[in-house]
Structure 1
Amino acid sequence: MSRHPRRAMLAATILAPVAVTVTTAGVATLSAHAAAGCQVTYTIGAQWPGGFGANLAITNHGEPIDGWTLSWTFTAGQTITQSWGFTADPASGAIVARSAGYTASIPTGATVAGGFNGTWDNSSNPVPSTFTLNGTVCTGPGEPTSPPSATTAPPATTAPPATTAPPPTPSADTLFVATDGNDANAGTSAAPLATLARAVALATPGTTIALRGGTYQFSTNVRIMKDGTAADPYTITSYQGERVVLDGENLPHTPAPVGGSIPNLERGVLHIEADFWRVRGLEIAHGPYAIFCRDCSNNVFERLITRDNYESGLQIQGAASNNQVINLDSYGNRDPRKNGESADGLAIKEGFGSGNVVRGARLWNNSDDGFDAWLFTSPILVEDSAAWGNGVNRWNLPDYTGDGNGFKMGGGDPDPPANHTIRNSFAFDNAVGGFIDNGNPGTITVDRNTAWRNGDGGFKFANSTSRLTGNLAVGNGAGVSLGNSTATGNSWDIKSSWSSADLASTDPSVLTGPRAADGSIRSSNFLLPRSYPNLGARS
């Protein structure tokens, strides 16, 4: 199993729990016609012996920018070894960072982000004091330009006659959307809107957007860029459980060409850069990602189906904390542009932030992995979940490179430590591994999980100092790999040989079938040991 370090280039964000943050801001002349303000935030997210990860965010307070160069100086011998969102040359001393294609455009008021892994001397890692954007030092938002003084009054004009009355003001509590609606409507149940994008634009904190049943087609994705609050979150939901399908087949990059890239804002049928949103009860298919959530926190993704997309089903990355993924079904996602190497069922990757939880997820038949925590350096909790059939080339993609693991609990180049937890989860029939540390040198808690009939090892934790307790491995293509990890009360600790005859059932149909009324995975005796009922996962 290869770890494909080039995957770190997929994101334009950061990696790691915040350790040190410095912000410099400034006035930069970015065009011949106007002065523009800019602000640069540099965050050291994680630091380990010989290495560190950092984030850069550039906010444009002036005229739109199309292509940028950002310069700063490392004064203590730091060196950039791997970057995303920009390229760096030189990569030590006086740094010159040039925008990538997908971060080149910075509209007025917008922010783009990039990140890097680097080396340091284990003695001093000072934050750069000055940043220069397109040749001018950033020192703060520019002053707004005053309008020109009037010289003569404009001629009086006659107001045009009214032709149609403006639409009624929508309710602040609920906006309705229907396939036969009209965006000129008020968004009531009797007069619904036609598009989710219009509902998002009209919504205020506390609004529920209720979609009536049907299939919604998109030529432009829905971009969610405003925050709710803890007291008044936004909600997008199906109306009373009606089947709602958001179909992204007509969006750009479905699929992107082999070797192609997807601009940040065009990632996802739903592209979210916001906090305090609840997304429930939707089916999202055929998009360039179903949901792409960058620098987003305190969101809930519940009872979603993300299927048959041209990248990962649900991806959370960047500065992301306290997100909950509850009872997700994500399957059939693939990425022709990367020959299967990138599309996971669920990815929480390339970032940092505490409090992220995955519960009750089912992740199957994706081209790469079921779950991927590549380069996410804060602890993630995964529990009561299942991943199967990942990494098999069902689409006849050429030069197939899907990794094929059930739960990939980290990784990077270099590999940053991350102390994730996975418990009470199943990994079976994956092309390669069941549960793996993927080079993560941290301490992963691996408690009461079951790995069955995976192509390679069921539990591969030779690169970490993980703690494995009460896990069950049966019928995998290779034995467990532990290295310096510790193991207590696992199946291999109890006896050396296990087979299907030791299990009450090898029929997964209940686990893979319809969910219970509350959205949870239904209980069964699938892979339950006959003689050790407290060993391994339980659905």
Structure 2
Amino acid sequence: MPDKRTIRRRGVLAAVGAAVTATVLAVTMGSTAHAATLYSDDFNDGDSGGWSKSGGTWAVVTDGSPVFQQSNATSQLARQFAGQTGWTNYTVQARVKPLSYGSAGLAALAARSSSATKMYRLALLGNGRAELQAVNGSTITPLGSAAGFGAAGTWHTLRIEVSGSTIRGFVNGTPVGSATNSLVAAGRIGLITAYASASFDDVTVDSGGSTPPTTPPPTTPPPTTPPPTTPPPTTPPPTTPPPTGDQLVVAPNGDDAAPGTLAQPLRTIQRAVDLVRPGGTIALRAGTYAPTTNIQVLKNGTAAAPITITRYGTERVLIDGEQLPHTPAPLNGSIPNAERGVFHIEASYWRFVGLEIANGPYGIFCRDCGNNVFDRLVTRDNYETGLHIQGASSGNQVLNLDAYGNRDPRKNGESADGLAIKEGSGAGNVVRGARLWNNVDDGFDAWEFLSPILVEDSVAWGNGVNRWGFPNFAGDGNGFKMGGGDPDDPAVAHTVRNSIAFDNAQGGFVDNGNPGTMTYSRNTAWDNGGTGFNVSRSRSTLTGNLSVSNQTAVSMGTSTGSGNSWNIGGTWNDASLVSTNPAVITGPRTSAGAIPTSNFLHPVSGAAVGARI
């Protein structure tokens, strides 16, 4: 069913249209004439933030220095992906050390991974050869090969160059292959093993040198929202200059006049945000931070030097917004833009890692923001949406988010979601590994976001239940709401794959009136109070999805599908599933932050339908 909000014109979109164009042009690799570092990871921070796992046993371990290792030599396919699906012309390089090979084993670097099974791959093989390959599912097309590479226990430097339809591969500077191939035009980078174990290190991505534009790229305009109106403090802020190093340490018992070292930490997160420079890290010591004004993130990092705010080591950090204004706002009240969020972000190239954010007027509110990474966050019990991205926002990655218990007394449950990317536009926003549960409205909401979003490997459950006793309850209760809004909104082609919606008050996966050509592949809807897959007002394509024990299995309209549970026939009920116990998938995450794997909702028959998480 449609979102219960009043349908209205989007004043924000008219204002941000130029900003969207500027942002996309500025960050799209094909529009730049000179090489620039778009991504790098040497794993020296001890974690795998920014990478998305598909199979295998991965961990950052020490091999002289920190490396990213896949240790399960029997895994049929183990993959980690990073970067943006819109990347086109670039060079990716990494050091790769095979540790052991099984029969037909390989360790590889990938470029232009448009999916987990479609990419270009430079593989070290157990037979002592390196091979440049075009991979399309089970079809492997060799583009070149060279002997004398791949010895186990030896580091190799692999490099793939993709420019237009030209694909080149090098091992230790030696050409392996150069070919013309048009299998895939854009995609992420990947680290891959098959029946092998291997270590990976020093991953870099540099943009290609395509023809320069005839006019200089536009610059991102300043935020249109006025600065916060909070009165100035009665005492002037500290004037201590920032330290010369690239890390600022903050502790609840610190001092904002201190230099921000481990021995002399700062006290407030805002002071560290004001001092940090591009490439710097803000490390928060354990404890509870309870700001009385929200944390304003208004300056940019850069693609080559993003700014990171993270917990110190594995210490638990809680940022509690209960003392902020609007916690909660009164019934039918409004929250000024600048006061939305414990973190209010109007900036690009930041990484938020390992933080817990609760009881705020929104947990994180990110407006007109781009190329940020939200990694292993917990946003819970906020008085609006847990993590909210809006306006001219592109290239943001939401990875392994837990968002639950978010509610909005001011609207009787009408709008507080676990995760929302709404009321705006911008290419390249990605959600992976999210768990969104017991939120008052929806798990995920893409209301009036007019650019495609990718959602994968995520789970939404228990949303839309009035746990707070709100009168005139207005929560919608969908697992994944994929757009919708004004009747004259353009069609948007969102993608949802390998995700699960269960036990939501209404729909599992719903188009909400978005007429777009959306793609739903290998998802599972189980035990939802409404329709498992409601795509009746879109032109979607559904492949390999599973709908069991919902009030209604599917509402297709003019959408099309194949290989879904309702296409292949048979009896589909709880008895046809290996397990209906969600204890593992809803339990503690793995040490790497991933959702733990289980046989939850897998078909007893082994049919290739539904998600595998």
TM-score higher than 0.5: yes
Deviation by residue 1:418-455 (Cα, 9 ceiling, x = unmatched): 10000000000000000000000001100000000000
**Cα distance in 2, alignment partners of residues 348 and 310 from structure 1:** 17
Deviation by residue 1:105-125 (Cα, 9 ceiling, x = unmatched): xxxx86239xxxxxxxxxxxx
Q: Corresponding residue for 2:523?
A: 449
What amino acid maps onto 1:3 in structure 2? D
Please state how far the C-alpha of 1:279 moved relative to its aligned partner: 0.3
SS in 1 for 2:585: helix
Counterpart of 1:339 (choices 409, 412, 431) is: 412
In the alignment, is residue 391 of structure 1 matched against residue 464 of structure 2? yes
**Cα distance in 2, alignment partners of residues 482 and 278 from structure 1:** 39
Please state how far the C-alpha of 1:535 moved relative to its aligned partner: 1.1
What 5-or-longer segments of structure 1 have no aligned partner? Answer: 23-108, 114-164
Counterpart of 1:282 (choices 329, 333, 355) is: 355
Please state how far the C-alpha of 1:473 moved relative to its aligned partner: 0.2
Higher-Rg member (1/2): 1
**Cα distance in 2, alignment partners of residues 284 and 509 from structure 1:** 24
**Cα distance in 2, alignment partners of residues 7 and 189 from structure 1:** 51
Counterpart of 1:179 (choices 240, 244, 252) is: 252
Q: 1:444 to 1:425 in 2, by over 3 A?
A: same
**Cα distance in 2, alignment partners of residues 167 and 2 from structure 1:** 53
Please state how far the C-alpha of 1:416 moved relative to its aligned partner: 3.0
**Cα distance in 2, alignment partners of residues 167 and 245 from structure 1:** 26
Deviation by residue 1:171-208 (Cα, 9 ceiling, x = unmatched): 34000000110000000000000000000011111110
- Which residues of 2 match residues 211-222 of structure 1 at below 5 A? 211-222=284-295
CA contact (8 A) 1:15 1:318 kept: no
**Cα distance in 2, alignment partners of residues 413 and 252 from structure 1:** 31
CA contact (8 A) 1:389 1:428 kept: yes
**Cα distance in 2, alignment partners of residues 401 and 312 from structure 1:** 15
Please state how far the C-alpha of 1:413 moved relative to its aligned partner: 1.6
Deviation by residue 1:468-497 (Cα, 9 ceiling, x = unmatched): 000000000113100110010000011154
**Cα distance in 2, alignment partners of residues 249 and 188 from structure 1:** 28
- Which residues of 2 match residues 19-418 of structure 1 at below 5 A? 111-112=224-225, 167=240, 169-414=242-487, 415-418=489-492
TM-score normalized by the length of structure 1: 0.72
In the alignment, is residue 432 of structure 1 matched against residue 506 of structure 2? yes
In the alignment, is residue 525 of structure 1 matched against residue 586 of structure 2? no
What amino acid maps onto 1:469 in structure 2? T
TM-score normalized by the length of structure 2: 0.63
Q: 1:360 to 1:230 in 2, by over 3 A?
A: same
CA contact (8 A) 1:168 1:185 kept: no
Please state how far the C-alpha of 1:365 moved relative to its aligned partner: 0.2
**Cα distance in 2, alignment partners of residues 435 and 458 from structure 1:** 6
**Cα distance in 2, alignment partners of residues 11 and 242 from structure 1:** 43
Counterpart of 1:459 (choices 533, 541, 555) is: 533
CA contact (8 A) 1:389 1:431 kept: yes
CA contact (8 A) 2:223 2:368 kept: no
Q: Count the aligned residue pairs.
A: 402
Please state how far the C-alpha of 1:7 moved relative to its aligned partner: 6.8
SS in 2 for 1:111: coil
Q: 1:471 to 1:249 in 2, by over 3 A?
A: same
Please state how far the C-alpha of 1:170 moved relative to its aligned partner: 1.5
Please state how far the C-alpha of 1:5 moved relative to its aligned partner: 3.9
Q: 1:169 to 1:378 in 2, by over 3 A?
A: closer
Deviation by residue 1:309-340 (Cα, 9 ceiling, x = unmatched): 00000000111111000000000000011110
In the alignment, is residue 495 of structure 1 matched against residue 569 of structure 2? yes
**Cα distance in 1, alignment partners of residues 492 and 16 from structure 2:** 9
What 5-or-longer segments of structure 2 have no aligned partner? Answer: 23-221, 227-237
Please state how far the C-alpha of 1:241 moved relative to its aligned partner: 1.5
CA contact (8 A) 1:332 1:367 kept: yes
**Cα distance in 2, alignment partners of residues 446 and 377 from structure 1:** 18
Q: 1:338 to 1:326 in 2, by over 3 A?
A: same
Q: CA RMSD in A?
A: 2.1
